[in-house]
Amino acid sequence: MSDAVLLEVADGIATITLNRPEVRNAIDLPTALALAEALDEVDERADVAAVILTGTGSTFCAGMDLKAFAATKERPIHDRRGAFGIARQPCEKPLIAAIEGNALGGGLEIALACDLVVAAASSRLGLPEVKRGLVAAAGGVLRLPRRIPQAVAMELILTGEPLSADEARSWGLVNRVAADGESLAVARELATAIAANAPLALSAAKRIVIESADWSGDEGFDRQAAYTDPVRASADAAEGARAFVEKRAPQWTGS
């Protein structure tokens, strides 16, 4: 993994940091490949229950590194995880974006690939691609209307105007607004609450939430059984029941 993407693991939480502050954490091809590698690692590690994605410095991510693209003609796309190394296939574990500064264009598309978003109070979030003659094709026009009301998403997509952190929270795009400089700390609080829960249950619950968007109401209960039945039969489910009866914290094994 390159120095452009840092990975730290502690107390069941992985923190992935985009580390290119000199270009506002913009993503070139090597950075996209490094981010995909970090996501692969956290998916495979049994000691990781929740993941935070953040950026070094005053900007979460400026999206695609246009200067690098102009010089190399290499688009920052991973063959499996897609644009920026995350847009098409984020990690399987709960993923929280911790935003300082702006998340515009590709930066917001990376945040939209995450499950939860914490934004600093002065942050702005938006998809200005139409102002540049482009379409937010790295997940922006696909995911934003699923996260907030369609009419609101349509206005943001067609005008290219950003939301403040408070506005984004009012529409449900942002989960928590932190004081400037504190987004990572607030994201860690959220990740700690998540990581205290059973890993198999977390993984199954996330998959059902995401995949059920394409299920009909009639088939949902049948299709979720493929994920919920193994969890119900797991050692962790039995441990959760015992811990409740014995009034103690459960000891999860992920089995």
Known catalytic residues?
A: 109, 129
User: Strand runs (DSSP E) across the chain, as ranges?
Assistant: 5-10, 13-18, 50-55, 77-78, 82-83, 95-99, 102-104, 116-120, 124-126, 163-164, 176-178
Structure tokens at 76: 């920052």
Q: In angstroms, rounded to a whole number, what is the distance separating the alpha carbons of residues 70 and 33? A: 18
3-class state of residue 139 by DSSP: coil
Given a contact cutoff of 8 angstroms between Cβ atoms, the answer to whether 44 and 9 are in contact is no
Q: In angstroms, rounded to a whole number, what is the distance separating the alpha carbons of residues 10 and 48? A: 8
Would you tell me how many other CB atoms lie within 10 Å of the CB of residue 201? 18
Q: In angstroms, rounded to a whole number, what is the distance separating the alpha carbons of residues 34 and 49? A: 20
